[in-house]
Amino acid sequence: MMPTRAPSISITDKIQLGGDRLVIFAGPCAIETEDLTLQVAKDVKAMGERLDIDVVFKASYDKANRTSIGSYRSAGMDEGLRILQRVKDEFEMPVITDVHESGQIPTVAEVADVVQIPAFLCRQTDLLIAAGKSGRAVNIKRGQFMAARDMRFAVQKVQQSGNPNVFLTERGVTFGYHDLIVDMRSFPIMREFAPVVYDVTHSIQQPGAMDGSSGGARWLAAPLAQGAVAVGVDGLFLETHPDPDNALSDGPNMIPTGQLEGILAKLKAIWELSR
- Sequence letter at residue 88: K
CATH of 9-274, one of 3.20.20.70, 3.90.950.10, 1.10.1040.10, 2.30.110.10: 3.20.20.70
φ, ψ of residue 167 to 5 degrees: the values are: -140, 170
pLDDT tens digits, the chain, 275 residues: what are they? 567 899 999 999 999 999 999 999 999 999 999 999 999 999 999 999 999 999 999 999 987 776 677 777 777 899 999 999 999 999 999 999 999 999 999 999 999 999 999 999 999 999 999 999 999 999 999 999 999 999 999 999 999 999 999 999 999 888 767 788 899 999 999 999 999 999 998 888 766 544 545 556 778 889 999 999 999 999 999 999 999 999 888 778 889 999 999 999 999 999 999 88
- Burial of 20 per CB tally in 10 Å (0-12, 13-18, 19+): exposed
**257, 240 in Cβ contact below 8 A?**
yes
Q: List the beta strands (DSSP E) in the chain.
A: 9-10, 16-17, 23-27, 54-58, 95-98, 114-117, 137-141, 166-170, 173-174, 180-181, 196-199, 205-206, 215-216, 235-241, 255-256
Can you give the three-state secondary structure of 206-253, one letter per residue? ECCCCCCCCEECHHHHHHHHHHHHHHCCCEEEEEEECCHHHCCCCHHH
Radius of gyration of the chain (CA): 17
Closest CA relative to residue 255, chosen from 222, 207, 233: 222
Instruction: Give Cβ neighbours of residue 86 (< 8 Å, ≥ 6 apart).
Output: 34, 38
**Predicted pLDDT of residue 122:** 97
**172, 178 in Cβ contact below 8 A?**
no
pTM: 0.93
| Cross-strand bridge partners of residue 3 | none
Residue 4's CB is within 10 A of a number of other CB atoms, namely 9
